Amino acid sequence: MNSKEIIEMARRAGVRDDENIFEFSQYKYLEAFAKLVAAKEQDRCCSIVFAQCESDNVAQRTVDAIRGKA
């Protein structure tokens, strides 16, 4: 995720810039939160892959692709 995507998602979620939340000093917290949410969702997807795949090799390759390691 890049900064434009994070700001756009925040706006779509109803975050207003009334308090200059998108300034760098405040934005770093918004960016950190977005990355934590993304990591949690990625972990959830990966656990589903491991639960559904019959082969650990296929599961690992799929998880690596999800995490951008492939």
Tens of pLDDT, residues 28-65: 888 899 999 999 999 999 999 988 888 889 899 999 99
Give residue limits of the domains in the chain.
3-66
- Do 42 and 66 form a contact (C-beta atoms < 8 A)? yes
14: left (phi over 0), alpha (psi -120 to 50) or beta: left
- With a cut of 80, say whether residue 21 has pLDDT above it: no
Higher pLDDT among residues 16 and 48, named by residue: 48
| Per-residue confidence band for 2, with pLDDT thresholds at 50, 70 and 90 | confident
Closest CA to 8 of 22, 19, 18, 20: 22
Per-residue model confidence (pLDDT) at position 70? 65
Q: Mean pLDDT across the stretch 2-13?
A: 87
CA distance 45 to 10: 22
